[in-house]
Amino acid sequence: MPLIRSGGTCLKIWINTSHCPCERSEANKLIRVICSNPCNPLKTLSILPIYFIGQCLSLDEHPTFRETIIVQFSDPDYDWNSFIWTCSNHLVLPAIYLRFLKYDLLGFLPEVLAQHLEEIYSLNRTRNEQILLQVKKINATLNAAGISPTYLKGTGNLIDGIYEDIGQRIIGDIDFLVPENDFLAAAELFQNEGYIICIPTNIPSDQRRHHHYPRLRKGDAVADIEIHRQPVIRKYEAGFCADLVLQSKKIVVEYPECYVPCDEHKIIHNFVHSQLTNSGHRLGVVSLRDIYDLYLFSKRAGLTTVLTQTQSTRKALAYFALAQKLLSLPTTDKLTRNSKFFIWRHDLNLNSPLFRKLNRITWTISWVVVHGFLKQIKELIIYKEDRDFFVQNLVSKEWYTIHWQFYKKMITG
């Protein structure tokens, strides 16, 4: 693991293997940078870095902010720890590198840091190129069986030309949507090609009830794949279902026989995934990677045009308002009370470690009780295969390890 020192700051740079701690595979590497100071461990992240980074990402909208960046970076006491840690934690290091490259700002960074940012970008670009090759193989497999996939999230954005550079976005796995009638057949196709379920402890009946098939992995494939029957979890299907997405899907000229969601549906999916499925609104948190994607989508479709298409208009408005504030974008709409409260909770999460910890603990407890216990007890009563699976795994060390890591991640964030 490369170790560099700059101005008394120790920067450890490595490649993290997955979004989830229980999924370790050379085929699913993600690029992360974590900073630590051996003499002065990372302090509580102030509110400044995330807003500062947000404005760095949206330099195209206010290029004069370049002068502010230069002033900040010229300060010998500038907190590089917080800057790099925040960029890494929000998975926007390659995007930041490209903004700084475009606006000739790399020369104001410590030389060794600029070199490593370039290396991170290069690694991510190479990985995304391999993902695009994997997409073509996936298309060939599905098309031979008469199935046309619709690619979602990062991979869909990548093949749809959302990013000005294919190395700009860190992508975890390859998500694609297929019609319900092709769902299990598609999974069987890839398992016949050597893909295996990443976590074999998934409950069997989940394959019928869950919005996607258990994640599949193959040793020589750069990314895992998730085959979706629905774009979102069942709780939110009523407002954003597969039929709706497939009816408005767009063809991708460079990738025949595959599709991506229309731009309006990209915005809705971004919101639902970030704020509803991942409980971002409940916790008062956002990801700069999601916010930056939202910003790029807004160049194609107005954010407010989708409000009538979502069941959670107030939450969507709050999310859009925070995005505009983080990126320092002008808005003509007056902030609603709900939007102000959401922004206040977001900022409090950054300023108060006590609030952040209590916030996550109470959310985790409520989620475990309602979703983890009550829901699963109900399903154990209904489904025999769930009961058999539960009894079988009572003696499985891996089963307990996976659940412990999952709940630990929920608490720590």
d(CA 231, CA 138): 18
> What pLDDT is recorded for position 371?
66
- Distant-in-sequence, close-in-space partners of 207: CB < 8 Å, separation ≥ 6: 184, 187, 213, 214
**Which of 188-192, 208-212, 303-307 comes out lowest in average pLDDT?**
208-212
Single out the residue of 20, 409, 367, 15 nearest to residue 215, CA to CA: 20
Q: What is the 3-state secondary structure (H, E, C) of 272-318?
A: HHHHHHCCHHHHCCCCHHHHHHHHHHHCCCCHHHHHHHCCCHHHHHH
Query: Which has more pLDDT, 371 or 12?
Result: 371
The alpha carbon of 133 is separated from its chain's Cα centroid by a whole number of angstroms, namely: 21
Single out the residue of 106, 104, 131 nearest to residue 117, CA to CA: 106
> What six digits make up the tokens of 296?
């790029």
> What six digits make up the tokens of 162?
């959302």
**Which of 37-41, 179-183, 272-276, 348-352 comes out lowest in average pLDDT?**
37-41
> What pLDDT is recorded for position 396?
74
> What pLDDT is recorded for position 25?
37
Q: Check if the beta carbon of residue 224 is closer than 8 Å to that of residue 195.
A: no
**Which of 313-327, 355-369, 399-413 comes out lowest in average pLDDT?**
399-413
**Which of 42-46, 228-232, 253-257, 285-289 comes out lowest in average pLDDT?**
42-46
